[in-house]
């Protein structure tokens, strides 16, 4: 799910910045913000909406210091690997759909 949402975000960024789409430069940030908001709504209850490994790591470190120990790092690999898999997939889809 995290990889899918990362692919969705990358696709939205490519679509918003594609010169063929004539998106005004002032609209790119709101488009990306809406895409991130949609991802948070989709992932919030399922995975905690880690989205970014750096954003996910801070709460894990704090949780481990607050008594959870190494248990706070279980499944942390998902939030590291998923963006690395989803990003290129989103870029490849955007390349085939938007730049064909």
CA distances from 87 to 20, 32, 84, 94 (A): 22, 15, 6, 11
What is the topology classification, in CATH, of domain 2-98? Answer: Glycerol uptake facilitator protein (1.20.1080)
Model pTM score: 0.84
pLDDT at 16 over 80: yes
Q: Could you read off the pLDDT of 20-54 as tens digits, one per residue? A: 889 998 999 999 999 999 888 888 888 877 778 88
With a cut of 90, say whether residue 84 has pLDDT above it. yes
For residue 63, count CB atoms less than 10 angstroms from its CB and return exposed for 0-12, middle for 13-18, buried for 19 or more.
middle
The pLDDT assigned to 67 comes to 92
Residue boundaries of the structural domains of the chain: 2-98
Average pLDDT score over residue span 57-61: 89
pLDDT of the residue at 27: 94
Tokens of 96: 């085939």
pLDDT of 100 above 80? no
């Amino acid at each position: 799910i995290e990889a899918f949402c990362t692919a969705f975000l990358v696709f939205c960024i490519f679509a918003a910045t594609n010169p063929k789409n004539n998106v005004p430069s002032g609209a790119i940030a709101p488009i990306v913000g809406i895409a991130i908001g949609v991802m948070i709504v989709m992932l919030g209850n399922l995975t905690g909406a880690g989205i970014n490994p750096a954003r996910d790591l801070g709460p894990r470190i704090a949780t481990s210091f607050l008594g959870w120990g190494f248990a706070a790092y279980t499944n942390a690999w998902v939030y590291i690997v998923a963006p690395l898999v989803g990003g290129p997939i989103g870029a490849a889809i955007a390349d085939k759909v938007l730049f064909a």
